[in-house]
Amino acid sequence: MLARVAIALPVVLFLLSGHQLKTALDLSATRTTGSLVWADVVRYERSDRKDVTQVELDLRAAMPDGSIYERNRLALPYSIGHRVEAESLLVRIDPAASQEVVIDKIVRTQVWIARSNAVMALIAALMASWGVWAWNRWLRSH
């Protein structure tokens, strides 16, 4: 019974790989189609606690059409959060996109991280698939 349920692990890892690949594609799409504007950093919060390491921003930008775009609680990888400590940032915004806003200075790094995560999850899914298959095969023979 447990051996049959174990197939959930590679399935979840395959889904995670797909999610990270979609994230990389969404970031790239916003990078190419988004309007390049300056955004004011309304709030910059960096948590250095051992249990929670994160960077969070609130942004406000004047769009070319005169509207104001606001994005609250924009989470960033902790490892690149120090690169966006500023009063204003150059961002690309596409309100119709899945990933509405990207920070121009770090978007390449974010795409690279998402692609790397997708590859690692895919490798883990393949290894887990092989492991589950081998385990089930061994159980059938014994």
Mean pLDDT by runs of 10 across the 142 residues of the chain is 84 98 97 96 88 88 95 90 92 95 95 97 97 91 88
Query: In the prediction, which pLDDT does 57 show?
Result: 94
Domain residue extents for the chain:
2-141
One DSSP character per residue, 119-142 reads HHHHHHHHHHHHHHHHHHHHHHH-
Write the burial class of residue 57 (CB in 10 Å: 0-12 exposed, 13-18 middle, 19+ buried): buried
| Strand arrangement, sheet containing 68-76 | 68-76, 53-62, 35-48, 88-93, 101-103
93, 117, 86: which is closest to 107 by C-alpha? 93
Number of Cβ within 10 Å of residue 26's Cβ equals: 18
| Alpha helices, H only, the chain | 2-5, 8-33, 107-141
Q: What is the pTM (predicted TM-score) of this model?
A: 0.85
